[in-house]
Amino acid sequence: MTAPWAQNDEVIGFRFERHLAGTYGPLYGALAVGTSLVPERRTGAFEPPSSSTPQTRCNDPQDFAPSTPASRLIPVSETEFWWASPAPWRGDKPGAFAIRFERDAGGADPIDIGPPYEPWRRTGEFEFASIDFVPNEDEPVFTFSNDLGAQDYALQINGSYVFGGSYHGGESIETETVRVDGEAVDPTLAHYGASLEIDRRSTVEYGPDQLLGVNFALTVSQGAFLSEATDFTSTEAFASGIFPHMEIASADFTQALLYDGKEVTIVDVAEPGRHDLSTQADVTLRDPQKGYVIRTVSSAPIGVLDDYKTTYVQRNATRSKLYFQLNSTAGEELGHFSVSRNTVFGKTRRGASGNFDDRLPPCIDR
């Protein structure tokens, strides 16, 4: 039908589908259809692109999928557990997307505060052929990331010359709760549900009377969708090393796709070193050979530090690490600020040519 806002010949279309409740297919393409069907329903409204115009629309990742079937928390030890869900991009094929969480482990270099490393944090993301895989024994189908480094935050106080928080250490827990479907659980025991949450309040100690308060909340839902919110409180002046968000990908991820709301720009990050991405907030790391993607959409805090935001990928032989940095050479008294981000793991489809379509943004077809 003609779109109400049309000035020329634009139209609006509606998509109707029926599918297995709680299952979905690749990032691009039809949802999986199975034997247990729910009634047809409207699942999207969009302007169909013409055949001569590449599609460059992109949805927010939090809108990408309905809830998945039951996921499971897999305890390994007092300092390690895994969260496994049906892998969205595998459709009706068996398989799992899994996240490893660890605590009491971190960096011991001169730039690190060192122990304690008390909070639970992500240290790896994987695809397995079965939801019943055995952690640290079964070989993954694909490794998104397998790295002890920080994938959440790191901050440096002026005069300390070291980084603190997460992997860099100095972080003690005041309270921390792991929840499955909203209910507090013991992560050293097995649990089943649809979503995982970790909420905590912690303190990073840089030195005498140099404290940073951190409130952190992570939710894993819809199979491979992560939502994070972090709140920092400090009266100290921070140096240029202020990283409220980071994401680590394996060495297979040699492209960064930048989405500005209209078009996708592809940046090659295969060469070792730093690859600047300006102030981009919506970045997808991609393995161009297999099509796996990690898309993260970050927010910057509101206030004086907005002008210092920079984004870049630091590449070496083992990984591509995405940094969102708030950069102030003079240092700033942050006082209190909050940031958030959404991250989704997935896989793009092959085009008719047999190559992965570089024109399409790494979005979920919803």
Question: CA 153, 318, 221, 188: dihedral to nearest 10 degrees?
Answer: -80
CA of residue 219 relative to chain centroid, distance: 11
Laid out side by side, the sheet with 142-146 consists of 142-146, 121-128, 96-102, 80-86, 71-77, 191-193
| Model confidence band, residue 349 (pLDDT cutoffs 50, 70, 90) | low
Instruction: Give per-residue burial for 119-146: e unless 16+ CB within 10 Å, then b.
Output: bbbbbbbbbbbebebebeeeebbbbbbe
Q: Higher confidence at residue 334 or residue 68?
A: 334
> For residues 284 and 277, is the Cβ–Cβ distance under 8 A?
no
Distance CA 148, CA 128 (A): 20
The model's pLDDT over 80-92, given as tens digits with 9 standing for 90+, comes to 999 999 998 887 7
pLDDT score at 124: 97
**What 3 state SS string does 246-272 have?**
EEEEECCCCEEEEECCCCEEEEECCCC
Q: Higher confidence at residue 109 or residue 234?
A: 109
Name the nearest CA neighbour of 216 among 234, 231, 196, 233: 231
pTM (two decimals):
0.78
CA 28 to each of CA 18, 129, 135: distance values in angstroms, whole numbers, following the listed order: 17, 21, 29
Using DSSP bridges, classify how beta strands 210-221 and 114-117 pair: parallel, antiparallel or unpaired.
unpaired
The model's pLDDT over 163-187, given as tens digits with 9 standing for 90+, comes to 999 999 999 999 999 999 999 999 9
Domain 71-347 has CATH 2.70.98: yes
Of 31-45, 106-120, 158-172, 200-214, where does mean pLDDT reach its minimum?
Answer: 31-45
Name the nearest CA neighbour of 163 among 210, 115, 111, 209: 111
The model's pLDDT over 232-283, given as tens digits with 9 standing for 90+, comes to 888 777 776 788 899 999 999 999 998 877 778 899 999 999 999 988 888 9
Distance CA 177, CA 231 (A): 16
> What is the enclosing helix (H) or strand (E) of 321?
strand 319-326
In this predicted structure, the answer to whether residue 3 has a pLDDT above a threshold of 70 is: no
Distance CA 147, CA 251 (A): 11
Domain limits of the chain?
71-347
Mean pLDDT of 125-153: 95
pLDDT score at 366: 24
DSSP assignments along 37-55, one per residue: B---EEEEEE-PPPTTS--
| Amino acid (one-letter) located at 364 | I
pLDDT score at 148: 94
Mean pLDDT of 201-218: 90
